[in-house]
């Protein structure tokens, strides 16, 4: 059983002088600060090329970045499930499975399709969005070893933090929440951020959708996406120095609601996820 914990960034009751847009903006600022250490001095970052990460699913080419606290690996745009388009649009996520060759993980994948939402109106404008969006990203510290045959990861297993973004189930995405600044100050854990389907594509329910889905489910495809991402973490966290038995899941707003649901559901890290 994986160890899980819950971070709730709750909605305060809206005071008369605050509009809904202001409340949403306050929560967004909080979410940004949690991951990016916004408000701290911008640390100097230096790229030192790429390195390869050998995972059970395949080999990744990721960025190696040097911050004030030391080097870290940044693996972005890792596809954890088949893209939910075409015949897979109204279906539970299908695991991607192993790949051959080296997968480039040096840039974010697309965020999931969404419409303008309050203070996100300007932020999501230039972001790439499509149905080809089931990606996750990993940050992990790198240790410089004396012997070349040793993997470039911290000795021993580190706790893993999985962040589920907010956005009222209709907006958001991992491309807005890079953790470079955070890893310039901290080196004691592995961080995973994930995309999940939004709006109607992630949460539309009803008999018609259930009749088309492989398992009769409807209205929770976004939640199922996040569970598939957790299974990816269970398989691959150790490749980044993480301990799959010490995983904390946390989120803000919609992400926090999903964390609560995960805690009430069967363990997604079980050998048989069904």
CB 58, CB 99: distance < 8 Å:
yes
pLDDT (tens digit per residue) in 211-251? 999 999 999 999 999 999 999 999 999 999 998 888 888 88
Homologous superfamily of 20-264 in CATH? Alpha/Beta hydrolase fold, catalytic domain (3.40.50.1820)
Residue 234's CB is within 10 A of a number of other CB atoms, namely 20
State the pLDDT at residue 240: 93
How far apart are the C-alpha atoms of 187 and 178, rounded to whole Å? 15
Q: Which two tokens stand for residue 63?
A: 């960025």
What's this model's pTM, rounded to 2 decimal places? 0.82
Percent of the chain surpassing pLDDT 70: 73
CB 151, CB 55: distance < 8 Å:
no
State the pLDDT at residue 25: 52
Q: Which two tokens stand for residue 45?
A: 């970052």
- Give 225-256 as a DSSP string: HHHHHHHHHHHHGGGGTEEEEEEEEEESTHHH
CB 265, CB 178: distance < 8 Å:
no
Ordered per-residue pLDDT tens for the chain, 274 residues: 444 434 443 333 333 333 445 545 555 555 555 556 656 666 678 888 899 999 999 999 999 998 877 889 999 999 999 999 999 999 999 999 899 999 999 999 999 988 765 444 444 455 688 999 999 999 999 876 545 555 555 555 888 989 999 888 988 888 877 888 888 777 788 999 999 999 999 999 999 999 999 999 999 999 999 999 999 999 999 999 998 888 888 888 899 889 889 888 877 666 544 4
Task: Please state the domain extents for the chain.
Answer: 20-264
How far apart are the C-alpha atoms of 186 and 35, rounded to whole Å? 11
């Amino acid at each position: 059983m994986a160890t899980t914990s819950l971070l709730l960034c709750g909605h305060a009751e809206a005071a008369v002088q605050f509009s809904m847009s202001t409340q949403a903006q306050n929560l967004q600022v909080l979410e940004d600060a949690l991951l990016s250490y916004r408000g701290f001095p911008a640390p100097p970052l230096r790229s030192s090329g790429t390195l390869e990460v050998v995972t059970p699913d395949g080999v990744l080419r990721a960025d190696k970045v040097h911050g004030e606290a030391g080097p870290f690996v940044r693996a972005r745009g890792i596809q954890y499930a088949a893209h939910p388009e075409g015949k897979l649009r109204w279906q539970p996520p299908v695991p991607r499975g192993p790949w051959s060759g080296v997968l480039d993980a040096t840039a974010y994948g697309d965020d999931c399709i969404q419409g303008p939402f309050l203070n996100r109106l300007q932020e999501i404008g230039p972001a790439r969005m499509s149905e080809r969006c089931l990606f996750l990203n990993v940050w992990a510290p790198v240790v410089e070893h004396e012997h070349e045959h040793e993997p470039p990861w911290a000795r021993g297993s580190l706790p893993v933090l999985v962040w589920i973004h907010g956005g009222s189930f209709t907006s958001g995405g991992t491309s807005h929440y890079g953790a470079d600044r955070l890893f310039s100050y901290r080196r004691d854990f592995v961080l995973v951020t994930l995309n999940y389907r939004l709006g109607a594509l992630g949460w539309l329910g009803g008999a018609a959708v259930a009749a088309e889905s492989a398992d009769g489910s409807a209205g929770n495809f976004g939640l199922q996406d996040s569970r598939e991402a957790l299974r990816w973490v269970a398989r691959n966290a150790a490749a980044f120095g993480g301990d799959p038995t010490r995983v904390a899941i946390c989120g803000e707003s919609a992400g926090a609601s999903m964390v609560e649901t995960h805690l009430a559901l069967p363990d997604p890290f079980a050998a048989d996820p069904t």
